[in-house]
Structure formats: structure tokens, C-alpha cells
Structure 1
Amino acid sequence: MKHIKILFTVFLAILGQGSSLYAQSAGSELVLKLEPRPDNPRNSEGDFVTLKDGRILFIYTRFTGASPSDFAGAYLVGRYSSDGGKTWTKEDRTIVQNDAGMNVMSVSLLRLKNGTIALFYARKNSIDDCIPLMRISKDEGETWSEPVTCITDKKGYFVLNNNRVIQLKNGRLLMPVAWHQTPAGVHFNERGKLYVYRSDDQGKSWTSSAEVANPDGVVTQEPGLIALKKNVLMMIIRTNAGFQYQAFSKDNGESWGPCGITTIQSPVSPATIARIPSTGDLLMVWNNNGLTGPLKGLRTPLNIAVSKDEGKTWQHQKILEDDPSGWYCYTAIHFVGKKEVLLSYCAGNRPKGTGLSITHIRRLNLDWVYQ
């Protein structure tokens, strides 16, 4: 009996470590880990695109020098997979050199309806000058056009997260940003004003929506977009309220209702939502951890969940990463065929100072996701 009790205790201890142990063996596999190296203190904020020859290109932000700070030097590099994301090339290919005062970072990749590939990223010159740019490739990422400046009606520091730009069925491009108005010489302003920029000419010119109203007065940051059914768009918003917020548009992103609280508990960390092509449901990746409990405010664990009712409720929740000292955020979601999905995300260790420095690419089986 004593031995049975010991075995049962061990079983409970393993179970208590979260679903990530089961995930690693059953339907979730860590396929790439990009760790810091000499003169490379951080690898982060990337995105995927599938090329016409079947390969997958992952472009991410490679920092240089000694500092992993958001304001340190960085440029964009790429890795390739020829087997659906199971394995990746060993060496980085330079995609965009650093031509900014600080860095270029935070990648969004998008296969446009005209067949070209759009690459979006931030050119960061200072704490009061950060603007999203767009480049186009007509040869499957071999070469890229000169950059187009996406925001010309305002100046300042605009945050466009990775994996955030979307294209609607009518061809319109939508780019959600947070404008952090920071006077020169003043510490970075955490409060972002939310806007959605739209383009109806394949990114050649962009027009801003009005500011998304914030009646609760919470700190809003790093918005993301998902196209819902019945011609509705939803914005998902990082806040300091212990929950994600949301806002809606019914006119293809030209105007937005006020943002309001959801039931999705969250630290000050972004959530990412994408539609699963094979089922039509929504997949969300986020930190299921609010502002209470032993892990309050921390970007751990990393969770996934599925919504079958356009984001009203979430089910099939699973834990992908659960290290209490882990720091999981800035996810990109990319579907491969009908059965697989790739996730890239920061996966460092906050106490060790590598919170945003390590990037994981994880491959999930959708049958497992739905179990």
C-alpha cells in the first residue's frame, strides 16, 4: 500500500506540472529553439509564410551586440523548412539589414491575393520615432522591394506586433497599431492609443481609422485583429486590467466601437487569434493568468484554446509551456495543410534575464488540439 501511495503521489506531481508534458509526447513538438549566441543576445518576434515550392520561410528579429533591450540593435533574418516545419535550416539568411537609429524588428508576413508576399516590420530610430514599413517580394522572398512607409499622417512611436497584419476577402489590408506619444527626452509612455490603418491599393498608401475609444481608461497596447463571420472584425487588446479587451468594426475596419473587457484573463501580455482553415473555428494563444494567484502578472503558462462561436466562448484549452519562471509571448500562428499548425513565440526565463531572448517554434497536430 505504501508503494502505491508513493506512485500515486509521483503521478500527481507529474500531472501538476501541467499539460505541456503530455503535449510534448502526444500532439505538440518543439522543433526549433533559437537561443542567444555571441554577438546575438536575443532572437524574437517572427512570422511565417509558405512559399510556392512548399517550403516555409520564417523571418525573425536577430539582435546584435550585448543588449537584448527593445531599443538595442537588430536586423531581420530567415530560416527555411522543407518538410512542413519538422526541421529547419541551421544558418540565418539576412533579409533586411538594420538601417535604423536603433533597430528593425517585429515581423508580419502575408501572402497577398495578387500572389506576392508582403513583409511588414518596424523601423525604430528612437523612443519617439518608430514607424511600420512594408516591402513586397515578387520572387518568393528572394528579393524585396524598397520599403513603403505605412504611417505618414502622424509622427511618433507606433507598435505593430508580429503576425498582426491581415487582408480581407475584398483585398483590403488592415494594420492595427498602438501610438505611444512620448515627448522627446521623456521615458517611454506605456499608454497606447489604438488605430487601424487600411490600404485598398496593395499597401501603396494607407488611411487611419479614428482612435478606438477607451471608456474604462485602462492601459491599452499591442492590438491584434481577426475577421469574424457576418462582416464583423474583432480587435483583441493587451491591457493592464487582468483581462484582454476587445473592440468591433462592422465596416471593414473604417470605424470601431469602444473597447471593452472580455472574459479572457491575461497579464499585460498580447493574445493572438487565427481562424483554423480546416474547421472554421478560432484558435487563440495567450497566457491564461490574470492579476491574482501565485503567478499573477507573469507571462506564464502559455495556453491554447478553440472557439466554435466566433470568440464568445473558448474550449479545448491546453497548456503548451508551464515553467513558472518562463516568459511566453509574441506568438505567430501558421497553418500547414489540414492537420498541422506552427507556433513561434518568445520562451525565455525571466529570472535568468532571457525572457524575450529565446524563440521556440512548436508544431501542433490539430486532432490533438481538439481532444
Structure 2
Amino acid sequence: SAIFAGEAGAANLKEKLIKQLNDENRDARIRAAQALIVLAKNEHPQDEIVVSDVYEASKEYPRYSEGSILPLNDGSLLYATTQFIGSGSDFATARIIAKKSTDGGRTWGKQRVLQENTGKKNVMSATLRYLAGPLQEKRPIGLFYLKKNTLSDLKAYLKVSDDNGKTFGPPIEITTPPGYHVMNNDRITILSNGRWLAPVASTPDVHKNNHFVCTCFISDDQGKTWKQSTGNVDYAKRGAMEPEVFELRDGNVLMIFRTQSGHIGSSLSCDKGDTWSEPVSWGVRAPEAPATLRRIPSTGDLLLIWNDNFEPGAGHSGKRTPLTAAKSDDEGKTWKLKKNLETDADHTYSYISLTFHDGRAVMSYYVGDENRLISSRFRSIPLTWFYEPTAD
């Protein structure tokens, strides 16, 4: 039973395997333990979609948003988000907190503070990244975040952990020029040549000016020092906002960004993020809201998560619903198998983080309700779901 039970998924033999852990034969004990591990991994259906509001809003904490999830080396998930205290305003007091799951996001451990509020207003908008490849023995973890002081002083910082996220070192300032620099959650990109890109939308003053221009802050020394890109990306109305940067197969870097024009904007860099082409529509309709783009490791296809909606004249050019996913096998030129993740018209969904773990797309996003409370939702979907034909 110890040899075949695990691979066969024979859960009815579980009690016998537990007894076999005390067998006189050492090899039998080892095989029983191995079989129990396999059974534990297989006890949940492979097609299960796991969804829960891990951080549920309340009167005391009315907003949890702008999060990031990192699959750790031990197989657990570290889920960071921004906790706003007393108010859901962008300028309310806030800090970055985290929870850990050891069962794929079905249950979560005790909450802890990753970054206390050190700003005059808040700290917010977390990005968690491993800063070295999976083959390296020591993999430091980077916590990227924003510190907000005033309407004209918002900056991005990096802290590094060398103990798997238990503690973090001193802050490194990324956005050194003065101004209000918005870097969304879950946005840092590490290129194939080792360069780090921090995409930022900047304005001199979010109240007096409120027109944003995108640049990248670039590090070629593993985050120790940063420089701003030579080129920038501007757009109509409020400008180019909340950018994401993404390395294409040909080595060029794509920037997509939020606009007020009813579509996702785009620009291309042929020099790893230093200069940028004249921006154009990416051809994907959207309200004034950010989109998230990743490459599926197992297939190489692109996966886009965004709000597939546009209402001319409405606030934010339409509600941030539905929350939609689509895949592309031609580097974003066309999109196939568009499927909705969330459709409730009374709720809004935005600020998505997205990663991949154990053959699944693992994401977080905010969920706003009719009472203006914003919770942070976890969703884990088997990658096969994105390839299943739609009803229409």
C-alpha cells in the first residue's frame, strides 16, 4: 500500500499508511510517509477554483487594496496588501500587512506588519519579488512600496529580506527626483538581461497639476542604485497612468497604461526601457483603470486581466466591472478565449496582482461594495480553465 497508494490517490488507505509510519522496517516507514505526502497534495480537486476575501473590510479598516502574492521556496504563499485605517481615501493612514498560506490559499495564518507607516500620509501599494533566480541558493526577497507625504511628494522604495521575508533591511529610494510618483502594486519587472524596471506615472502635484507622464526607473546593480529613463510616455487628458512593463519574446519592452480614452494605451522600448515610442491605443477597450499582464510559464502565452468595459461620459469612463481574463498566443496582437472572473454590477474589481504556482494562476484584487468598503480577494484558478472553450 505504501508503494502505490499515493500515486493511485487511494485515500481509503490513509489510516493504514499512518499505522505503517511505526513499522519496524525503515524503508516501509519512508514509503508510507511519501505516500501520505502525495495523498495530501491530491486531496483537493485539480479543477478547484479557490476564492476568498482574505482581508475583509470593516468600519475600522474600510479598505484593503494594492496587494501582491509571492510563492515562497517552501511552497507557501505570502500575501501582502495595504491596510487603510479609519478611511478609504488614498491619503488616509495606511500600512502594508501580510498573511501566509501553506495550503494553496485555502486557509491563511496570522496577520503581521511588513511595513509600518513611515509617511506623513501613508505607505501603500506593495510588490513582492524574488530578486534572484530559482537556481540560486540564496534568494533575497524585495518589498517595493510607496511612501506618501503630501500631494506633491510620493516616492517608491525597496527593502530587501535575506531571511525569506521574516525581516527586511533599510529602505532604498527608487524615485529620487521630486514629485508625485505612482508605482502600482505588483509591477516590478526583471528583464532577461538582469535589468530591473520600476514603471512609474509622475506628476508635479496630484491636486494642482494632475496630469501624469510615465517613465521607468532603472537599476543595473540589483536595486542598489536607480536612474530615470531618458524617454517618457505622455497621453491625452489626464495623461498616461499606472503603467505596467513587460518583456516580449523579441527582447523589446512593452508598456501598457491606464488612460481616459476608453482603451489601454501602449508604447514600446527597443533599448530595455530607456527610451519609448510614440504611444498608441493597444486595441483593448477599458475604463480608467489599470490592467495586469503576465506570461504563462507552461505555454508562453500572455494572460491579461482587466475591466472589459467602457462607458463614455461616466466617472472613470465606466465601472470597474466585469473583471475579465483573456490569453494571447501572438504577443498581444490578438486575444482569445475572453472569460469573466467577476461580473457583479454592484461591485468593482481592480488593482490585480498575478503570479503562477503549481499549475495555477494566483491573483489578488480589490473588491469594492455598495457601502464603499474595499476588501482584498484571493483567487486561484487552474491554468487549464483559461484554455477551456467559452459557451459562445
- TM-score > 0.5 by shorter chain: yes
Alignment of 1:229-248 (within 5 A): 229-248=249-268
The answer on whether the counterparts of 1:238 and 1:270 sit within 8 Å (CA) in structure 2 is: yes
Which moved further from structure 2: 100-109 or 26-35?
A: 26-35
Give distance in 1, aligned partners of 2:338 and 2:292. Answer: 14
The secondary structure found in structure 2 opposite 1:224 is strand
Question: Does 2:192 match 1:169?
Answer: yes
Structure 1: stretches of 5+ with no match in the other structure: 1-25
Q: CA shift at 1:92, angstroms?
A: 1.2
Which residue in the other structure is 1:18 paired with?
none
Q: CA shift at 1:212, angstroms?
A: 2.2
Aligned residues: 337
Which residue in the other structure is 2:362 paired with?
342
Give distance in 2, aligned partners of 1:167 and 1:201. Answer: 12
Which moved further from structure 2: 159-168 or 207-216?
A: 207-216
Which residue in the other structure is 1:47 paired with?
68
Q: CA shift at 1:38, angstroms?
A: 4.7
Give distance in 1, aligned partners of 2:348 and 2:66. Answer: 13
The aligned amino acid for 2:384 is: D
Which moved further from structure 2: 35-44 or 169-178?
A: 35-44
Which residue in the other structure is 1:146 paired with?
170
Q: Say which of 354, 366, 369 aligns to 2:383.
A: 366
Which residue in the other structure is 1:98 paired with?
117
Question: Does 2:270 match 1:250?
Answer: yes
Q: Say which of 309, 332, 335 aligns to 1:314.
A: 335
Structure 2: stretches of 5+ with no match in the other structure: 1-46
Give CA deviations for 1:21-42 in whole Å, capped at 9, x if unaligned: xxxxx76331334222353121
The aligned amino acid for 2:202 is: W
Give CA deviations for 1:291-324 in whole Å, capped at 9, x if unaligned: 3599961111000000100011111111111111
The aligned amino acid for 1:122 is: L
The aligned amino acid for 1:236 is: I
Give distance in 1, aligned partners of 2:48 and 2:210. Answer: 38
Q: CA shift at 1:204, angstroms?
A: 0.8
Give distance in 2, aligned partners of 1:287 and 1:215. Answer: 20
Displaced runs of 4 or more, over 2 A: 26-29, 84-87, 186-190, 210-219, 291-296
Question: Does 2:52 match 1:35?
Answer: no
Question: Does 2:122 match 1:122?
Answer: no
Is the alpha carbon distance of 1:169 and 1:50 closer, same or farther for their aligned partners in structure 2, counting shifts above 3 Å? Answer: same
Which residue in the other structure is 2:280 paired with?
260
Give CA deviations for 1:237-264 in whole Å, capped at 9, x if unaligned: 1000000000011111111112111210
The aligned amino acid for 2:141 is: I
Which residue in the other structure is 1:10 paired with?
none
Give CA deviations for 1:311-368 in whole Å, capped at 9, x if unaligned: 111111111111112111100001012x21111001112x4222xx211111111111
Question: Does 2:75 match 1:58?
Answer: no
Question: Does 2:180 match 1:160?
Answer: no
Question: Does 2:230 match 1:227?
Answer: no
The aligned amino acid for 1:176 is: P
Q: CA shift at 1:216, angstroms?
A: 5.0
Which residue in the other structure is 2:322 paired with?
301
The secondary structure found in structure 2 opposite 1:139 is coil
Give distance in 1, aligned partners of 2:208 and 2:342. Answer: 30
RMSD: 2.0
Identity %: 38
Which residue in the other structure is 2:34 paired with?
none
Is the alpha carbon distance of 1:177 and 1:44 closer, same or farther for their aligned partners in structure 2, counting shifts above 3 Å? Answer: same
The answer on whether the counterparts of 1:31 and 1:363 sit within 8 Å (CA) in structure 2 is: no
The answer on whether the counterparts of 1:102 and 1:124 sit within 8 Å (CA) in structure 2 is: yes
Q: CA shift at 1:181, angstroms?
A: 1.3
Alignment of 1:149-228 (within 5 A): 149-152=173-176, 154-182=177-205, 187=207, 189-214=209-234, 216=236, 219-228=239-248
The answer on whether the counterparts of 1:193 and 1:220 sit within 8 Å (CA) in structure 2 is: yes
The secondary structure found in structure 2 opposite 1:163 is coil
Is the alpha carbon distance of 1:190 and 1:328 closer, same or farther for their aligned partners in structure 2, counting shifts above 3 Å? Answer: farther
The aligned amino acid for 2:140 is: T
Q: CA shift at 1:148, angstroms?
A: 0.4
The answer on whether the counterparts of 2:213 and 2:235 sit within 8 Å (CA) in structure 1 is: no
